[in-house]
Structure 1
Amino acid sequence: MNPALDLLYRLAAIGISIYCARKAWYGYVERKILFVSDDWLDWSRWSRQEFDRDTMPIRYWMQMVGTAFGALLCLVGAIIGWQPNV
């Protein structure tokens, strides 16, 4: 693999990991987190929901766990790197 592409992959994975970790941390501190919509074409109000820890605890913790798992997965990807032919 081209070393420049591997470096670019690792930098992108580190950046996404930091973004997700900060989002999870601020969600924990502020006791609310913004919903992550996986639909890029949905710009309605449902794609921008905010879950509060006291009023919607199940959705809040589902979003927190998903965001923290995404941060951890990107961190592992940044450490291991891209190895398609191994």
Structure 2
Amino acid sequence: MQFFLCEIVARLVAIYLCADCCRLVRNGLFERKIEYINSDLLDWWSHDVIHRDTAPVRYWMLIGAEITSLAACLFVAIFGWWQPNN
């Protein structure tokens, strides 16, 4: 059971998140805007849009965060989830 949860499920979730991050980065670069979830605790489901021309620093920070997430998910999808043997 531990093999199934740690290896197969972690890789499937990582592949899904990798595809989602890739889609967000591609759309963000082509449309020159990126959408992110608002951090307000009372309004969870609202999405804010950052345009590249009006807020370039925040735009590139969000693109960098998505690329970092993409790299992390790609690493887990290739190598799996490692747990030390106790």
Matched residue count: 84
The residue correspondences of 1:5-84 to structure 2 (distance < 5 A) are: 5=5, 6-37=7-38, 39=39, 41-43=41-43, 48-84=47-83
Over the matched positions of the two proteins, sequence identity in percent amounts to 35
The answer as to whether partners of 2:37 and 2:44 remain within 8 angstroms in 1 is no
CA RMSD of superposed structures (Å): 2.2
Residue 2 (structure 2) aligns with: 2
Where does the alignment leave 5 or more consecutive residues of structure 1 unmatched?
none
Q: Distance in 1 between matches of 2:19 and 2:30?
A: 16
Deviation at 1:26, TM superposition (A): 0.4
Shift of 1:2: 3.0
Query: TM-score with structure 2 length normalisation?
Result: 0.83
Q: Deviations over 1:4-63 (max 9, x none)?
A: 2111110100100110111011000000001244x5844268x52110011110000000
Runs of 4+ in 1 over 6 A off after TM superposition: none
- Distance (Å, rounded) in 2 between the aligned partners of 1:12 and 1:44: 22
Distance 1:51 1:17, change over 3 A: same
